[in-house]
Amino acid sequence: MTSDALSPFGDAPRDAAVERASDRSAASRASALALPWWLALAIATGARVVLLTAACLLIGAAAPALWGWSPTTVVSGSMQPRIVAGDVVVAMPVAADALDVGQVLLVDDPDRPGELRLHRLVDVTDDGLLRLRGDANATADSTLVAPDAVHGAGVLRVPAIGSAMLWSGGERALGIGVVSLAVLVLLALTRLEPRDEDDVVDPLALGRHRARPPVTGWGRARRVSGVVVGVVAGVAVLFLVVGSTHAAFAGSTASAATATTARFPCFDRTVPSPAHFAYLYADSASGPVRDSGPSRRDGTLVGGAQITSASCGSGENPYLRLDGATGQVTTAEQYLAPQVFSIETWFRTTTTTGGKLVGFGNARSSGSGQYDRHLYLTNSGQLVFGVYRTQHYTVTSPSSYTDGRWHQATVSMGPDGIVLYVDGVAVASSPQTQAEPITGYWRIGYDTLGGAWPSVPTTAHYEGDLDGTSVSDAALTASQVADRYAAGR
């Protein structure tokens, strides 16, 4: 036996397993060196830094929940520029007698049961109720809050760590999948660093190595599946702990506890009263369309419908964009269509194929068999509003509005008949006071158009932009319409 076959102690030969392990180590090194060693090392190091940073932020956002504090994800932009959507804010419990003007409070949303609101306390009324306001808002919230609805005062902001809630449109299952996949990819990148994975230090061999027992295919599969399950479970727990709130920090005060922030007019807009629903389209691009009125009748984006991500601070409000082929917004509630109501929407388009802006139909998302109370554009760009009551009653604007600029269209129907307004001015009217008594849904951007309706457009799908779409359960007066147009979008 040669000396090369002896261990350092001269008492045992090297067996074939060591030789096979050495061969595997060489193969591992060769695979790692498929990239330049410095590039592989840089990628692996970068992945570790990202994972470590994310872990620290997640721990900072979620750990306070262990002692009763409330982490919550901001999903709207009403706190810009100081707090943006995707940030996690941690609220600390605070006693009712310790509430002070200037504190940012996490409260039960008084207008949206089951949701939270994160606004700044600006006043306490004589009867002890709290008046809140957003930092980006010019006026205080219209609904007061009772002290027992307060979950806590904001004390910590963890930037961007809740962004996955926005990527997934608020759907936790999708968010968990996206984040888990990202973590697994980063873990895989950390393995790019060149190393001998088949060798381990042998403490009895003083500077020598011994072969690591080979890992079988089944063993490797169990190891990988364990990592995957662990990552998904960890991310799921974090998503459960770090919930979401529709509102952000909002409302500036003169208190020393705050600094003055910019005013963003798109969050100052009021909704008509009494609003059946009011969509300002200031939410995430793929999430539900939030009802800014008191009824909480959220809408659903369908097909090629998307809310733009424009910032109020950039000079362009967010708005709804429809592709003219499949895009629309539908409401969930079915009910008897009203005889007294108003429809209001801003629109901007250059289409030459018309389309329905807003209407009522007996189908929720497909083409309706019964439909009226609709406002649509003709191919020439004129606005038509019509109802059906044994026959068709319509009003038509004399001018065209497909010039690529924003216009406001408003229709009121009540005891005084139908009036069509464009940009705050009445342009057409009818004495008709009744419409078809049908049960159905409000539709935005699409529904059936055909039959004896005048100037039926090429397509019922509207291609263009909409903003400030609302239906109110009252007939707006001419002065109310003019005031709402003057307030802008």
Domain boundaries, the chain: 3-51+169-241, 68-158, 267-487
Write down the H helix ranges in 33-156: 37-62
Rounded to whole angstroms, the Cα distance separating 243 from 241 reads 6
**pLDDT number for residue 222:** 53
CATH topology of domain 267-487: Jelly Rolls (2.60.120)
**pLDDT number for residue 242:** 45
Tell me the CA distances in angstroms from 373 to 273, 341, 343, one per residue in order. 19, 10, 9
Contacts of 226 (CB under 8 A, 6+ apart): none
pTM flag (> 0.85): no
CATH topology of domain 68-158: Umud Fragment, subunit A (2.10.109)
Q: Render the burial of 310-346: b for 16+ CB within 10 Å, e for the rest.
A: bbbeeeebbbbbbbbeebbbbbeeeeebbbebbbbbb
**pLDDT number for residue 206:** 44
Burial of 247 from C-beta contacts in 10 A (0-12 / 13-18 / 19+): buried
Characterise 488 by phi-psi region: left (phi > 0), alpha (psi -120 to 50), beta (else): left
Ranges of the chain whose pLDDT falls below 50: 1-14, 18, 21-22, 24-33, 168-170, 197-209, 232, 237, 239-264
HSE value, Cβ hemisphere, 13 Å, CA-based, for 80:
17
- The H-or-E segment that residue 392 falls in is strand 392-396
Rounded to whole angstroms, the Cα distance separating 438 from 418 reads 18
